[in-house]
Amino acid sequence: MSGTLRVLPLGGLGEIGKNMTVVEYDDRIVVVDTGLRFPTADMMGIDLVLPDFAYLRERADDIEGIVITHGHEDHIGALPFVLRELGQDIPVFGRPLTMAMARSKLDEHKLREVELEDLDPGDKLEIGPFDLELIHMTHSIPDAAAVALTTDLGTMLVTGDYKFDQTPVDGQPGDVTRLAELGREGLLLLCGDSTNADRSGWSPTESAVGPKLEEVFSRCKGRIVVTSFASNIHRVQQVVDAAAACGRKVALVGRSMRKNVNIGRSLGHITFPEGMLVQAREIQDFPDDKLVICSTGSQGEPLSALRRMAHRDHPQVELHAGDTVVFSATPIPGNERAVNETVDRLFHIGCDVVTTRDAPIHASGHGYVEEMKLMLNLVKPRYVMPFHGDFKRIRLHGQLAEAVGISRESVFRGMNGLPLEIDEKGARFAEAEHSGMIFVDGVDIGDVTDVALRDRRMLSADGIFVVVATVSAQDGTSVAEPEVIFRGVPFRDEADRVLDEIRDTVEASLSRAAKDEIREIDLLQEILHTDLAGFVYDRLKRRPMVLPVVVEV
Ligand SMILES: [Zn+2]
Ligand SMILES: [Zn+2]
């Protein structure tokens, strides 16, 4: 007599990001992915968003392990927070690059006791009532895998993120043979990536990007800066190869770019020709037409290397007219504004900017509609539950399943917190469980469910600074001494000095902004907020609420 399989998504459905799924059988649990999401603009002061995993808190002892499909933040980013809360004795499984990235992340959070187990595709591992197997897939990061979990009831497959790239950069296409075998054996449930359910046809192959980059490079006279996701190690490889073909050397800029390339290099996912790398400190003296700088910041992230270059605030790279900046990435939904702002700053400096609208210098890591149909046809699932997508894409993915002949009753369009239960009699949604978001502010994690609560907590713990700055409407310079009001800030008797320093910080930020011709009030307030919050934290080791008010006269 078989039991009941329960598949409970805690994140990733009805949204893009923070993928996390609880799989239960015989009261034992395997968690697939522990991802995060980056905050939207209205989540002021929030650094990260995690899935609310309260459901697992009372069940920590039942967890057999956590399996990570690949090293992207929306699949691995919440791992330190989850383990810190549920216990470092939970083993974590994944492919070597994924585990190396997990290790580096856990080290940063001082979680050194966690057991990380490398698992190669094809290896079968028994954990509790589950047989676990990883299947090699292609995606925009090496070592991506689909996760097959087998119980007495049958096998379920979580695809992770994937595309069917027939000519990947490392020559290792996804394991369609194994997928087809699973289909022949009879797959119980498919939980598939829905990210590109709205794009018809086939996604372009990653290896088509390299020659296009080379074409772009060959037209450039000055220095070239290429920005892409640091974890897209094969893209960085193609940048290196295109640079070499044009007689240029490569410098890596940005912490995560250097970190990921180092990890990728140690595992053999990227190779550099002898003498190809230029150190960051050598960049300024290197001939412009002999250099490609590979940088973080493709999403316009506030503290990224490219954003700092665009604001003329990078310690090693000073951009100038005649340089070309190549965006080998598209903005993730929600980041468009930050990317556009960065692009415009670059134009202001006099750089040329090449984006995916000008040349096909990016390939998505997610399969398009025909690839999703191919997946469905290979594994022939009895039930389908679309994963990884907003409600629109989940609906579209469901329609694709019906289009390839899966009956409507077998397609389950779910949402976070809604468990799908499968037993010998069939499949159905069960009663909803608690799910939601957890906000992370700095390194703190709280079960704060909305921003108002978080604000109250911040006010009660660390107080508030209100800073009123008065700027000239003509040229944006500061025209009066900034006013600083505070309540509830626990100073140790250095209040006067700190207040003076705060005024200096405000003046410095404003004159920098004036020099950069930043006039929009909300942008100024944002800059002041960033600078002041950083300064106050440095000085007081606390995070009071910082409320800058800019008045134009
Ligand atoms: Zn993803
Ligand atoms: Zn991914």
Structural Rg of the chain based on CA atoms: 25
Angle at 420 between CA 419 and CA 421, to 5 degrees: 110
Residues 6+ apart with CB under 8 A from 101: 71, 76, 231, 260, 263
Residues of the chain with CATH 3.10.20.580: 452-552
Distance 497 CA to ligand 2 centre (A): 48
CATH number for 5-201+364-439 (one of 3.30.2320.50, 3.40.50.300, 3.60.15.10, 3.40.50.10800): it is 3.60.15.10
What is the model's pLDDT at position 278? 96
SS3 408: helix
Distance 25 CA to ligand 1 centre (A): 25
Query: Any catalytic annotation for residue 434?
Result: no
Q: Which of 143, 161, 175, 193 is catalytic?
A: 193
Q: Which residue has the tokens 């893209």?
A: 235
What is the model's pLDDT at position 448? 44
Ligand nearest to the CA of 72: 2
Query: Any catalytic annotation for residue 241?
Result: no
8 A C-beta contact, residue 316 and residue 284? yes
Q: Which of 311, 366, 397, 529 is catalytic?
A: 366
Ligand nearest to the CA of 137: 2
Q: Which of 68, 60, 160 is nearest to 106 (CA)?
A: 68
Distance 110 CA to ligand 2 centre (A): 25
Can you tell me the distance from the alpha carbon of 512 to that of 504, in angstroms, rounded to the nearest whole number? Answer: 12
Count CB neighbours of 168 within 10 A. 18
Ligand nearest to the CA of 387: 1
Residues of the chain with CATH 3.40.50.10710: 206-354
What is the model's pLDDT at position 545? 85
Please state which CATH class domain 452-552 belongs to.
Answer: alpha beta
Distance 256 CA to ligand 2 centre (A): 16
8 A C-beta contact, residue 158 and residue 191? yes
Ligand nearest to the CA of 193: 1
Residues of the chain with CATH 3.60.15.10: 5-201+364-439
Ligand nearest to the CA of 144: 2
Distance 191 CA to ligand 2 centre (A): 15
What is the model's pLDDT at position 175? 98
In the sheet where 187-191 sits, what is the strand order? 124-127, 130-137, 144-151, 154-158, 187-191, 383-384
Distance 69 CA to ligand 2 centre (A): 9
Distance 74 CA to ligand 1 centre (A): 5
Side-chain-side CA neighbours of residue 414 (13 Å): 35
Distance 193 CA to ligand 1 centre (A): 8
Q: Does the domain spanning 206-354 belong to CATH 3.40.50.12280?
A: no
What is the model's pLDDT at position 525? 87
What is the model's pLDDT at position 454? 67
Residues with pLDDT less than 70, the chain: 1, 40-46, 441-454, 456-457
Residues lining ion ligand 2 (Cβ < 5 A) are 72, 161
The token pair that represents 456 in the structure block? 């109250």
The token pair that represents 66 in the structure block? 């956590």
